[in-house]
Chains A and B, each alone.
Chain A
Amino acid sequence: MKRLSLIAALLAIAATMSLAQAVDKLPTTKLPPVEISVFTINANFPIPPEDNRVYKLIKEKLGVTFKWDIAVAEVDQKIGVMIAGQDYPDLLDINSPKFIDAGACMPLEDLIEKYAPNLKRHYQADPITWAKMHEKDGHVYCLLNYGVIENGYTDQSYWGPAMFIQKAVMKEFGFPKITTIDEYFDIIAKYKAKHPTTADGKPTIGFSILTYDWHRFDLCNPPPFLAGYPNDGDGIVDPKTGKYRVQYYGPEAKRWYKILNAMNDKGLVDRESFVDNYDQYLAKLANGQVLGVHDQYWQFQEASKTLFAQKRVWETLMPLPIVFDKSTKPHWRDMPLPNLQRGYGISAKTSREKAIRIIQFLDAQLDPAWQKVFTWGFEGSDYIIDKDGQPVCTPEQRTRWDDVTWRSHNLAELWWYDAPKLEGRFTKNGQAHALRNNPKEYQASQYPEDVEIFKAYGVSSYAEMMDKNPPPNPAWYPAWQIVPPDGSAEKLAFTKAQDTYAKDLPKVILAKPADFEKEWANYVDDLKKCNLQLFEAYIQKGLDERMAKFGKLK
């Protein structure tokens, strides 16, 4: 105990000293102070407390303070009235075409050119990204918040969609190589037969589906992935012809639901998936009952955390890149994409002077020194550099990162979340922007159970498990970034389709195998009535435009 407190004391002293040094290294701007009013739809973080050290530094060194307007609920309606009333603060958080279409934003390309060398370099590093940032009228309105990677990406953990399976299942059968959907369900069935209940006596569930409210995309997302297509949202783009078709009633979909139907007949699918709400879905996962899902990790992270907290790591889920046939190459994992039309824009009502000041601030905070403060914290107090020059955390520092109260006092998450940022590596072959994505720290922060799994499969992370080297994205990808405007007939058709598949797919899956064809035909009929051709045509038009601009296919 005494030794620990001595270490802690020394660390604290080192921290204070290096904090001072680190602070000195931060770029400062000598311009007059300014208060930037920000509208953000990111309700994930509270308004920062007065004593937050990073915001204090921002004020001191860059002269900037913030006035926050956070949309805590009913975002669409809030944005609607803002537009109708033309009430715009200086920075607008763009998460849809709404603000841009309403003419609320100021063109930024001139400002970037003249006043923001960092932003210029950042966004123009990839000419295609820069070209994509221009809207139809030729202006750039939005400074993208994610996906603009200058020096190579580094993600270690996998957050995206996958067919997940409980780690215990893999362990039970000696970590076999599972690649096809049949193998997947096979092993689940075998495990379920051996373990019909969990240790607490709750029934084991083979496969669960999240269908509540807006989460119901989980119900219909698998088919393109299983067929080896990348994530184009609601449809599939033929790699040879560039033709887009909605995938909901395609041959891949039929194959998937037929499999699900057969599995349901075997008792592997949870009937209640179609009526459970989100909390009930999570509860089943949190009790270790569920052996397999198709979902995205962030959706059930809460349940995983519950299991981790109880030290039941084997009952958490791991991702697998499953496909229909052995011959299909899985394409679950993507290279990170520039997050188009997501990020901050400057309101057209801001004075030019203030806009210049704002752009200069955005430029300054993009400096690697500031970015390190945002994502790593301060050397000494939040991490240390080991003898190989790699950042690592001491155990106390590591657990402190999960403490929400500490974060709200010591990080600038509310700002950083939607701001222009450096991602991937800071320099070519340099360190990763996210502290935990640096290999040493990542390995150190893994559970021993996960390390065992990595060893068994010869990978160093779950991201690698999904795909060591995802293929580069075609320039026109992905199709889901093409969104029909509000109030349009295409959007209506799509909403109707959502209601339809939510209603009919449960019937298709729960039907007796003999009735499958009948229910499927009924489903396809109902979908056709939704006029999805309108939607398809709109996406096709968007894709054609992109392909014309950025080059066809691969």
Chain B
Amino acid sequence: MTLKLGRRRYLSAKAFLDEAVFGVAKALVLTSIILVTLYPFWNTIIVSFNQAIDTTRGGLYLWPRIWTITNFKSIWVSANVPHALSISVARALCSTVLNLFLTTMLAYALSRREFVLRRPLTIIVLLSMYVNAGLFPNYFLIKNLHLNGTFWVYVVPTLISAFNFIVIRTYIKTIPESLFESARIDGTSDFRIFISFVLPLCKPVLATVALFVAVGAWNAWFDTLLYNSNKTELFTLQYQLMALLQQSMSQSRSAADVNAAGMAANIAASMVTPVSIRAAGTIIATIPILVVYPFLQKYFVMGMNVGSIKE
């Protein structure tokens, strides 16, 4: 006997009760998770909109105490945001496109079981994730390749990530072998198969990896410090934010200043502190990612798979 309530069909009254209880539990747990994970971001937002010198007092929980957009203004003016933004975007785009293409090509080649070099090449790529030569050897390599002082130092050293390789490879493994076999019987070359079949079919995993790569490129600043610190035209957004953070540290803590009596209210209002710059900087740096993500998200839920082999 089945119960029909609304649009759902239940097998029994007990099933309905189960569903209801679970529904409530589900809602409660989900709401708490949403609130808990939303809170840090929310807190960052209110700190970024709160007057810096007031934030030093602490105690900001749910809403700013003294509203201001000075923190954002300060960043916009000092960090040369438009130009830095363009460099960061260019970097993220180049990295993402090149990464996706090369990693997928490698993943396809190494997913072919008949490939004689499969095992050794896979091991080489895999182990590269677990070794790191350290600061100086990497610096020397970049220098010897004359990448320092150029835009390409942002893209070339990070073209392949073994993690992304694994993710894409295992997805490719889920594509039925029969597809490739029939293509080969038709005489299609491997490269052609890669371009015409693999890339389109891998859209979901490519979207995921694109997000990983883009976010990584977007957040990096250490390479600018090491290789491009004297080239203001190549400063990325994160690097400018980092510089601004240091400057704000001095503004509030420098020994070169003496408090003026009757410190004008507007001067106090226009001061920035590291905490406020960090908060406002985080918001500025994160917004582009949040804007891009929804476009990628529709690809994820279409079915990305790591590890499941359907043969």
Which residues on A are within 8 Å of B, measured CB to CB? Answer: 37, 39, 43-47, 67-74, 77-78, 80-81, 84-85, 87, 89, 157, 159, 279-280, 282-284, 286-287, 297-299, 301-306, 308-309, 395, 398-399, 401-405, 408, 413, 417, 436, 444-448, 450
**Which residues in B have their C-beta under 8 angstroms from that of A305?**
53, 252, 259, 263, 268, 271
Q: How far is the CB of A539 from chain B (nearest CB, A)?
A: 26
**Which residues in B have their C-beta under 8 angstroms from that of A43?**
243, 246-247, 249-250
Tell whether A308 pairs with B139 under 8 Å between CB atoms, given A69-B230, A404-B270: no
Q: Which of A306, A402, A408 contacts B54 (CB 8 A)?
A: A306
B249-269 residues at the A interface, CB under 8 angstroms = 249-265, 267-268
Q: What residue in chain B is nearest A72 (Cβ atoms)? A: B243
**Which residues in A have their C-beta under 8 angstroms from that of B261?**
444-448, 450
Tell whether A73 pairs with B225 under 8 Å between CB atoms, given A37-B230, A46-B243: yes
Q: What residue in chain A is nearest B51 (Cβ atoms)? A: A309
The CA-CA distance from A395 to B261 in the complex, in Å, is: 10
The CA-CA distance from A309 to B66 in the complex, in Å, is: 13
Chain B contact residues (Cβ within 8 angstroms of A): what range? 35 or more
Q: How far is the CB of A316 from chain B (nearest CB, A)?
A: 9
Q: Which of B56, B226, B270 contacts A403 (CB 8 A)?
A: B270
**Which residues in A have their C-beta under 8 angstroms from that of B260?**
398-399, 401-402, 445
Pairwise interchain contact A81-B270, C-beta atoms closer than 8 A: no
Q: Which of A73, A74, A157, A282 contacts B258 (CB 8 A)?
A: A157
**Which residues in B have their C-beta under 8 angstroms from that of A395?**
262
Q: Quick check: is B57 within 8 A (CB to CB) of the other chain?
A: yes
Q: How far is the CB of A439 from chain B (nearest CB, A)?
A: 13
**Which residues in B have their C-beta under 8 angstroms from that of A81?**
135-136, 139, 226
Tell whether A84 pairs with B253 under 8 Å between CB atoms, given A309-B265, A402-B260, A445-B258: no
Q: Quick check: is B77 within 8 A (CB to CB) of the other chain?
A: yes
Q: Which of A37, A287, A302, A436 contacts B58 (CB 8 A)?
A: A287
Q: How far is the CB of B84 from chain A (nearest CB, A)?
A: 12
B191-248 residues at the A interface, CB under 8 angstroms = 221-222, 225-226, 229-230, 232, 239, 242-247
Pairwise interchain contact A404-B135, C-beta atoms closer than 8 A: no
> Among B225, B232, B244, which residue has the most Cβ atoms of chain A within 10 A?
B225
Q: Which of B56, B221, B230, B253 contacts A306 (CB 8 A)?
A: B56
Q: Which of B57, B78, B246, B250 contacts A286 (CB 8 A)?
A: B57
Pairwise interchain contact B222-A74, C-beta atoms closer than 8 A: yes
The CA-CA distance from A270 to B263 in the complex, in Å, is: 31
B72-114 residues at the A interface, CB under 8 angstroms = 77-78
Which residues on B are within 8 Å of A, measured CB to CB? Answer: 53-54, 56-59, 77-78, 135-136, 139-140, 143, 148, 221-222, 225-226, 229-230, 232, 239, 242-247, 249-265, 267-268, 270-273, 275
**Which residues in A have their C-beta under 8 angstroms from that of B268?**
305, 308-309
Pairwise interchain contact A298-B255, C-beta atoms closer than 8 A: yes
The CA-CA distance from A436 to B91 in the complex, in Å, is: 47
Pairwise interchain contact A302-B56, C-beta atoms closer than 8 A: yes
The CA-CA distance from A436 to B255 in the complex, in Å, is: 13
The CA-CA distance from A401 to B262 in the complex, in Å, is: 13
13 contacts between A and B (CB under 8 A): A44-B250, A73-B246, A85-B143, A89-B230, A282-B56, A286-B57, A299-B253, A302-B252, A305-B259, A308-B263, A309-B265, A309-B268, A445-B258
The CA-CA distance from A301 to B221 in the complex, in Å, is: 29
Smallest CB-CB A-B distances: 5 pairs: A44-B250, A283-B58, A309-B268, A69-B230, A43-B246
Pairwise interchain contact A159-B140, C-beta atoms closer than 8 A: no
The CA-CA distance from A282 to B53 in the complex, in Å, is: 11
Q: How far is the CB of B148 from chain A (nearest CB, A)?
A: 8
Pairwise interchain contact B226-A44, C-beta atoms closer than 8 A: no
**Which residues in B have their C-beta under 8 angstroms from that of A299?**
253
The CA-CA distance from A402 to B229 in the complex, in Å, is: 29
Pairwise interchain contact B57-A67, C-beta atoms closer than 8 A: no
Q: How far is the CB of A450 from chain B (nearest CB, A)?
A: 8
Tell whether A287 pairs with B57 under 8 Å between CB atoms, given A80-B136, A309-B265, A404-B271: yes
Pairwise interchain contact A69-B253, C-beta atoms closer than 8 A: no
Q: Which of B140, B246, B270 contacts A85 (CB 8 A)?
A: B140
Q: How far is the CB of B280 from chain A (nearest CB, A)?
A: 15
Q: How far is the CB of B171 from chain A (nearest CB, A)?
A: 37
The CA-CA distance from A80 to B140 in the complex, in Å, is: 12
The CA-CA distance from A115 to B250 in the complex, in Å, is: 35
Pairwise interchain contact B140-A44, C-beta atoms closer than 8 A: no
Pairwise interchain contact A45-B247, C-beta atoms closer than 8 A: yes
**Which residues in B have their C-beta under 8 angstroms from that of A445?**
258, 260-261
Q: What residue in chain A is nearest B221 (Cβ atoms)? A: A73
Q: How far is the CB of B20 from chain A (nearest CB, A)?
A: 46
Q: How far is the CB of B81 from chain A (nearest CB, A)?
A: 13
Pairwise interchain contact B77-A405, C-beta atoms closer than 8 A: yes
Pairwise interchain contact A72-B225, C-beta atoms closer than 8 A: yes
Q: Which of A84, A298, A304 contacts B136 (CB 8 A)?
A: A84
The CA-CA distance from A77 to B223 in the complex, in Å, is: 12
Q: How far is the CB of A98 from chain B (nearest CB, A)?
A: 14
Tell whether A71 pairs with B225 under 8 Å between CB atoms, given A309-B53, A404-B270: yes
**Which residues in B have their C-beta under 8 angstroms from that of A308?**
259, 263, 268
> Among A287, A308, A404, which residue has the most Cβ atoms of chain B within 10 A?
A404
Pairwise interchain contact A404-B239, C-beta atoms closer than 8 A: no
The CA-CA distance from A71 to B245 in the complex, in Å, is: 12
**Which residues in A have their C-beta under 8 angstroms from that of B246?**
43-44, 72-73
The CA-CA distance from A252 to B267 in the complex, in Å, is: 44
The CA-CA distance from A298 to B267 in the complex, in Å, is: 19
Q: What residue in chain A is nearest B251 (Cβ atoms)? A: A404
> Among A39, A157, A309, A446, which residue has the most Cβ atoms of chain B within 10 A?
A309
The CA-CA distance from A422 to B221 in the complex, in Å, is: 37
**Which residues in A have their C-beta under 8 angstroms from that of B254?**
44, 298, 301
**Which residues in A have their C-beta under 8 angstroms from that of B226?**
77-78, 81
The CA-CA distance from A305 to B53 in the complex, in Å, is: 7
The CA-CA distance from A69 to B225 in the complex, in Å, is: 9
The CA-CA distance from A159 to B254 in the complex, in Å, is: 10
**Which residues in A have their C-beta under 8 angstroms from that of B139?**
81, 84-85
Pairwise interchain contact B263-A46, C-beta atoms closer than 8 A: no
